[in-house]
Chain A
Amino acid sequence: DARVTQTPRHKVTEMGQEVTMRCQPILGHNTVFWYRQTMMQGLELLAYFRNRAPLDDSGMPKDRFSAEMPDATLATLKIQPSEPRDSAVYFCASGLGRVAGDTYNEQFFGPGTRLTVL
């Protein structure tokens, strides 16, 4: 049963601390997305990768957020330093990003990391 895994599931930290969230995409998927979900803003795309290369990180606050894919089985999202406004649920999703005539981009979501910054 292939699925996207994320760790940790919950994280409570104090303002100013570094937070690292990890994601293992489904084996064989070549596109990985990071989203943030809040009640106020809904689901926002932060960054995404294709074949481990960053394609777009325009949704991410550059001064404190960074996203990487050190290898095909691991994607990381780091916040340094964290702030209370970063409190949200962070989702990782992966997909095949198939292009066969029309783009078809079904995404498989992980369970999310619920981050609380005090």
Chain B
Amino acid sequence: SQELEQSPQSLIVQEGKNLTINCTSSKTLYGLYWYKQKYGEGLIFLMMLQKGGEEKSHEKITAKLDEKKQQSSLHITASQPSHAGIYLCGADAGGFKTIFGAGTRLFVKA
């Protein structure tokens, strides 16, 4: 079965700094989703990538899917306290199912 590994598990950054979160799949990705979860709340969809080499942006957050479609990175530019939360990658697992990575906990120091 497909597995998603996220790194790092947690991250503490100073406000204003850039950061990158990675998501590596054990199998080829046919649909890769990025979600954000604020502490104590549900997940919010950020963006979806399907094609190798694809890159999408949402405000100051940019996500890329590598050419081989087995890894995605999420990059935040000039981090702000509002970026704090848990970032989860998800992958289409067939039949409308999505499997999720364990998440990366981001803390932003003001």
A residues sitting closer than 8 Å to B (CB atoms) are: 4, 31, 42-43, 45, 48, 50, 55-56, 91, 93, 95, 97, 102-112
Contacts and interface: CB of A to CB of B under 8 A. Distances in A.
Interface of B: 30-31, 33, 35, 41-45, 48, 50, 88, 92, 95-103
Contact of B48 (A31, A91, A104, A111): A104
A109 B43 CA distance: 6
Query: Which residue, B42, B97, B100, has most C-beta atoms of chain A within 10 A?
Result: B42
B41 A42 contact: no
A108 B44 CA distance: 7
Contacts, number: 57
A112 B43 CA distance: 9
B93 to A, nearest CB: 8
A105 B31 contact: yes
A43 B42 CA distance: 11
A42 B101 CA distance: 8
Given A31-B96, A97-B96, A102 B43 contact: no
